Structure 1
Amino acid sequence: MFVSLLIATPVSAQDRNVDKRVDRLEQEMRAVQRKVFPGGSSRFFEPEITPDTDTPTTQSTTSSAVSDLIARVDTLERSLASLTGQVEENGFRLKQIEDKLAATEVPPVSTDPGTFSTTPSSVPGADSTQATADPERVSGVASIVMPDTGDAGEDAYIYGYRLWEAKYYPEAQTQLKKAAADHPNHRRASFAKNLLGRAYLDDGKPALASVALYENYQELPRGERAPDSLYFLSTALVQLNKKADACRVLSELQEVYPGAASGRLSARVASGKAAADCS
C-alpha cells in the first residue's frame, strides 16, 4: 500500500496540472476560433476570451496563432504519452515487487508447543514413514503399555516417559504434549513439559526443545521440573550456537533456584557452564 501511494501521489498531481493546461488550451482555441469566425454564434463560442475589435485581425496572425496552438497541443500529447508510459512502468515495477514479496513470504512461527506436529510437513526431520509404516516399529510401540493406576494424569505421563525411554521420540513427543494439555493442573504437567523438551533434544531438534523448555519454566515456574528445564534449555542453546544466552540461562537457574542449582543439579550446572564457555 505504501509503495502504491508513492506512485499514485505524483501521478495525481501531474493529472491536475494536465487538466489545467487542457482547459487553458481550450480557452485559447476558442479565442482563435472567434478570430477566424468573428461573428460566430455564442452557442458554439463561449465568451471566456472576447475578440479585440481594436486590433485588425489578419490571416498571418491567425495562422501563427493556430500553428502555435497546434505545436503546444503536440507537446501536450507527448507529455501525456510520457506520463502514461511512466504510470505503466511504475505499475509493472510494483507488480514485480509484490511478486517477490509473495515468493519470499514465510508463515509466522508459533511458539505454542501444542501446535507442533511430528509429521514431516511441520517438523523437519520427523520421519512419519518410519514411525507408522515400519512393522517392527509399530510392534515396538504397541508393546509399550499405558499404566492404569486410576490416576489419569500420572498414567499419561508415565506412558510418555516409557516411550521416550524406549527411544520412540516422535511418539513420546505426541504423548507428552497430550498429557500436559489434558492434565494442566496435575503435578506431572511440569514433568511432561520438561520431558517433551528432552525428547526434542534427543530427537535432534534443539529449536523445538528450546521453545518447550522455556515455556515450561515460564508457565509453571513452581513446577518440580522448572529448574531442570532451565538446564536443558542451556543445552539446547549451546547446540544452536548461542553460548552467551546459555550462560545467562544458567545464571538465572542459580539465581531463581539456588537450592536445586547447588544441590541435585550442581553437577549439571557445572557441565553446562563448561559446555557454554561461561566465564
Structure 2
Amino acid sequence: MRNLLLAACAVVLLPAGASAQQIEARVGKLESEMRAVQRKVFPGGAGRIIQPDIQPADVTGDTAPGVPATAPIADLTARVTTLEQQIATLTGQIEQNQFRARQIDEAFQAYKRATDDRLRALETRPATVQPQPQPASPEDEALVAPIEAAPARSAPRPTAAAPRPVTTAAVERPDTGDAGEDAYMYGYRLWEAKEYAGAERALKEVVAKYPKHRRASYAQNLLGRTYLDQGKPSLASIAFYENYKKMPDGERAPHSLYYLAQALQTLKKPQDACKVYGELTDVYGAKIDARMKADIAKGRAAAECGA
C-alpha cells in the first residue's frame, strides 16, 4: 500500500516539476535577451538592469510561518510576463528611435539640396556690385568696400563703345628668374586686364606650385577678388577663408578677412560679416594700417554691427 501511495505522488508531482523546469528555461532565456537589449539601448549602463514599470503588489497582513505567499509556478509566470512586457517596450522604443533617425537624415538631405540650389543661383546671378577701382600695382591693392552704393549722377552715361577685352595671349609673361614671382605677376596682369578665366588658372597655379612663396598669400587673396569681380561671392568667400585658414601669417591674410566680410554682406549675411570684422580686429589689430581701419569702420557701419 505504501509503495502504491508513493507511486501515485510521483505521478502527480511529475508534471508540476516539468512545468517548473520549462518556465525556468523561459525565464533564463528572457533574462539573457533582456540584458542584451539593455546593453544595446543603454551602452553606459554597465550591466545595470532597469526595473520594470509594473511591480508585484505588496502582500500585507500576517502570513503563517513556512507558508509561501504564492505557488512557485505563479511567481515564475509573473516574472516571465514582466520580462516579456519589458522586451516589448524596449523593442518599440528602438523602432521609434530608428524612425526618428531616418526622418532626421531625410530632412538634412533636403536642406543640403536646397542650400546647393541657392548657392548655384547666387553664383549664376549677374553681378549687381559696382566695379572697384583697381590698384596701379600688386604691392598696393586698395581696400574698397564693394557693397557701398555709388552716389547718383545727373549727367547722362557716355555712349562710347566699350573697349575690346584683352585676350590672354596679349598679356606679357614676366621673366625675372623668380618663378613664383613671375607666375603671380602674370596672374595679376590677367586680372588687371579683366581676363578673369585666365587669371583664375594662373593664380591657382601659383598657390599649388609655390605654397611657401610669399606671393602664395597674394595669389589666394587675388583669386577671391577675381570671383568678386565676376559676381560670385560664394566662391569668393571660400577663397578668402582658405587664405586666412591655411596662411594666417601671409601678407594678404588680413585683406582676405576684410574681403570675406564684404562677400558675406553681399550674400545678405550681415551678422556673419560682423563676426569676421571682429576676428580681423582681434587677430591683426596691431598690423593693419590706418586706411584699413577706416575701411573696416565703414564696413561695420554698412553691416550695422553696432559698438
Give the TM-score, by structure 2 length. 0.47
- Specify the SS of the correspondent of 2:286: helix
Q: Does 1:186 align with 2:213?
A: yes
Match of 1:248 in 2: 275
Q: Please report how far the alpha carbon of residue 276 of structure 1 lies from its aligned counterpart in structure 2 after TM superposition.
A: 1.3
Q: Please report how far the alpha carbon of residue 277 of structure 1 lies from its aligned counterpart in structure 2 after TM superposition.
A: 1.5
Asked if the contact 1:260/1:266 (under 8 Å) is kept, the reply is: no
- Specify the SS of the correspondent of 2:268: coil
Q: 1:188 to 1:105 in 2, by over 3 A?
A: closer
Match of 1:152 in 2: 179
Q: Does 1:258 align with 2:280?
A: no
Q: Does 1:176 align with 2:203?
A: yes
Query: Mean Cα displacement is larger for which, 243-252 or 267-276?
Result: 267-276
What amino acid sits opposite 1:272 in the alignment?
G
| 2:243 alignment partner, one of 202, 216, 235 | 216
| 2:254 alignment partner, one of 227, 233, 244 | 227
Please show how residues 34-53 of structure 1 align to structure 2 within 5 Å. none
Q: Please report how far the alpha carbon of residue 263 of structure 1 lies from its aligned counterpart in structure 2 after TM superposition.
A: 3.1
Q: Does 1:161 align with 2:162?
A: no
Count of aligned pairs between the two proteins: 157
What amino acid sits opposite 2:252 in the alignment?
R
Asked if the contact 1:261/1:269 (under 8 Å) is kept, the reply is: no
Q: Please report how far the alpha carbon of residue 257 of structure 1 lies from its aligned counterpart in structure 2 after TM superposition.
A: 0.2
Partner Cα separation in structure 1 for residue 291 and residue 217 of structure 2: 17
Match of 2:234 in 1: 207
Structure with the larger helix share: 1
Match of 2:222 in 1: 195
Unaligned runs of 5+ in 2: 1-108, 127-163
- Specify the SS of the correspondent of 1:265: helix
Please show how residues 113-124 of structure 1 align to structure 2 within 5 Å. 124=124
Partner Cα separation in structure 2 for residue 266 and residue 104 of structure 1: 38
Q: 1:206 to 1:150 in 2, by over 3 A?
A: same
Unaligned runs of 5+ in 1: 1-101, 110-119, 127-135
Q: Please report how far the alpha carbon of residue 174 of structure 1 lies from its aligned counterpart in structure 2 after TM superposition.
A: 1.4
* Higher RCO (CA < 8 A, seq sep 6+): 2
Partner Cα separation in structure 2 for residue 146 and residue 107 of structure 1: 43
Partner Cα separation in structure 2 for residue 166 and residue 177 of structure 1: 17
Q: 1:250 to 1:261 in 2, by over 3 A?
A: farther
Please show how residues 261-276 of structure 1 align to structure 2 within 5 Å. 261-276=288-303
What amino acid sits opposite 1:276 in the alignment?
A
Partner Cα separation in structure 2 for residue 103 and residue 154 of structure 1: 46
CA RMSD of aligned residues (A): 2.9
Partner Cα separation in structure 2 for residue 174 and residue 197 of structure 1: 12
Residues 91-110 of structure 1 show CA distances to partners (whole Å, capped at 9, x for unaligned) of: xxxxxxxxxxx99995997x
